[in-house]
C-alpha cells in the first residue's frame, strides 16, 4: 500500500496567475495550470471570501493539450459548481478523474456583483510513479 504522501501531491495555485488571491471583482479568473503527468486525478478546492448579494458566481475546470492554454481549451463536462451569493467564506470543490488532456485549470466565472477568491488548491492523486 502506498503512503499518502507519495500518492497525493498538493499545490497552492495562483488564483489568476499573478496573485495568491483574487480581489473582489466581476472579471473571470483563470488559475495556474496543473500538469497531470503521472497522476490519475485532481481535486480542486476554491475558497471564497466576501460575495456581494446578487452575485452570479461559479467554477469549472478546463483542459488543454498545451501548458499555456494556447491550444483549444475545453470545458470539462459536469465540473461546473454554482456558488450562491450567500456562500461567503465557503469552499467549492470539484474533482476530475482521468482527463483526456494533460493540462488542467480552474476558471472562476464572476458576474454581476463582486466575489472574492481567497485561494485555489489542487490535490493530485492516483500517482502512477
pLDDT of residue 24: 67
Query: What values do phi and psi take at 104, rounded to 5?
Result: -130, 155
Residue numbers of the chain with a pLDDT score lower than 50? 1-3
Residue 12's pLDDT is what?
A: 86
Q: What is the reported pLDDT for 19?
A: 64
Check residue 66 and report its DSSP letter: S
Alpha-carbon distance of 71 to 129, in angstroms, equals: 27
**What dihedral angle (degrees, nearest 10) is formed by the CA atoms of 76, 78, 82, 83?**
-70
Number of Cβ atoms within 10 Å of the Cβ of 11: 14
DSSP state of 6: H
User: pLDDT of 12-37, one tens digit each?
Assistant: 888 776 666 777 666 788 999 999 99
Look at residues 72, 80, 70, 77 and name the one whose alpha carbon lies nearest to residue 106: 80
Report pLDDT digits (tens) over 62-73: 999 999 999 889
Amino acid at each position: 500500500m502506498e503512503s499518502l504522501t507519495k500518492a497525493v501531491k498538493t499545490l497552492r495555485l495562483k488564483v489568476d496567475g499573478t496573485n495568491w488571491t483574487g480581489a473582489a471583482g466581476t472579471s473571470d479568473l483563470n488559475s495556474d495550470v496543473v500538469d497531470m503527468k503521472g497522476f490519475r486525478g485532481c481535486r480542486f478546492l476554491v475558497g471564497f471570501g466576501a460575495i456581494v448579494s446578487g452575485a452570479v458566481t461559479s467554477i469549472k475546470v478546463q483542459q488543454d493539450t498545451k501548458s499555456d492554454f494556447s491550444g483549444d481549451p475545453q470545458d470539462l463536462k459536469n465540473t461546473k459548481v454554482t456558488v450562491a451569493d450567500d456562500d461567503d467564506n465557503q469552499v467549492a470543490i470539484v474533482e476530475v478523474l482521468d482527463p483526456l488532456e494533460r493540462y488542467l485549470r480552474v476558471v472562476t466565472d464572476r458576474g454581476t456583483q463582486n466575489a472574492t477568491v481567497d485561494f485555489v488548491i489542487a490535490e493530485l492523486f492516483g500517482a502512477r510513479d
